[in-house]
Amino acid sequence: MTPASPTTSASLPDLSKSPTIDQVGVEERASRFTKRSIKKDSKLEALKMVLSMIDLTTLSGQDTPGKVKQMCYKAKHLHDAVAGLPHVAAVCVYPTMVHVAKKELEGSGIHIASVATGFPTGQYPLDVKLDDTRKAVADGAGEIDMVISRGRFLKGDYNYVFDEIAQVKEACGEAHLKVILETGELSTYDNVRKASDLAMHAGADFIKTSTGTISPAATMPVTLVMLEAIRDYYYQTGKMIGMKPAGGIGNAKLAIHYLVMLKETLGQGWMTPDMFRFGASRLANDVLMQIVKQQSGAYQSADYFSND
């Protein structure tokens, strides 16, 4: 029988050693990344890279098999709009819809991600979260996006949060684990840094800003704090952890600012869908519109590509 609460915390890091974040400094550094000049050829390559890093997502109480099939069709055919474009990285759905996505995406090379563990609140017993995760993986999810227990974290119960992540990671088997911090509820950059450190030490393959249901969601300063945590963890352990800003990134210009920040903070090794994702479905059409603009000099409506 699955225990009702986590029980092991042997590798919990000393979070008192997590750096204190200079709010003014991190916000100033993040703002500088928006002022870089990107030449036309580089901009076109950046737009293609953004497209390849998008997780198309449908996470609604109104989701039906038909809606998921439509999202999967969009994922498979977005790159048909312009020759030579990559496909998106993944389609992200609830565990109950994973079997539908698996059938629709078979052979496409597009990953299937699922938001398990009581998304978006995380206010579920651990045994339910673990069963949720195992079902999603058994049905075909290669990536699990879990939410941490923010209430436990904010009251300082770091052992519980650490062990919960570790047990979900074990339940993932071969699937990759993205740990959602829900930074909009963590209040301070110091908390974001501590949660990032905790998640990585507990076994996260990716750390992710947000569920997209809380405002603010992803911001450049918050993402920078998380990227710097990833950098420091890499220096300490040699292990590369992925990053996924999610929510609020709705246009190509902003997405490219994130790529500049990624490149200058972590380097070329992270400039790949295996290490960086955007959780922003509405971003895809704007990226395609900007690519056509770069190639033809004329704007088209985003609806010409796909209308969800």
pLDDT in tens, 54-89: 999 999 899 999 999 999 999 998 878 777 899 999
Confidence of residue 302 (pLDDT cuts 50, 70, 90): low
Select from 227, 189, 235 the least CA-distant residue to 207: 227
What is the model's pLDDT at position 99? 98
What is the model's pLDDT at position 79? 77
For residues 296 and 279, give the distance between their C-alpha atoms in angstroms, rounded to a whole number.
28
What is the model's pLDDT at position 238? 97
User: Model confidence over 238-271: pLDDT tens digits?
Assistant: 999 999 999 989 999 999 999 999 999 999 999 9
Select from 136, 102, 103 the least CA-distant residue to 118: 136
Phi, psi of 207 (to 5 degrees): -115, 145
Contact criterion met (CB below 8 Å) for 60 and 96: no
| 307, pLDDT greater than 60 | no
User: Model confidence over 129-164: pLDDT tens digits?
Assistant: 999 999 999 999 999 999 999 999 999 999 999 999
| 12, pLDDT greater than 70 | yes
Catalytic one among 76, 178, 194, 244? Answer: 244
Sketch the domain layout of the chain as residue ranges: 19-294
Indicate the average pLDDT of the chain.
91
Confidence of residue 9 (pLDDT cuts 50, 70, 90): very low
What is the model's pLDDT at position 300? 60
Catalytic one among 48, 169, 194, 208? Answer: 208
Catalytic one among 132, 145, 163, 197? Answer: 145
- The larger pLDDT score, comparing residue 105 to residue 11, is at 105
* 293 annotated active-site: no
For residues 222 and 225, give the distance between their C-alpha atoms in angstroms, rounded to a whole number.
5
User: Taking the complete model, does pTM exceed 0.85, yes or no?
Assistant: yes
* Distance from chain centroid for Cα 179: 8
| 3, pLDDT greater than 50 | no
* 145 annotated active-site: yes
CATH class of 19-294: alpha beta
Q: How far is CA 83 from CA 47, 77, 91, 131, in A?
A: 14, 11, 21, 42
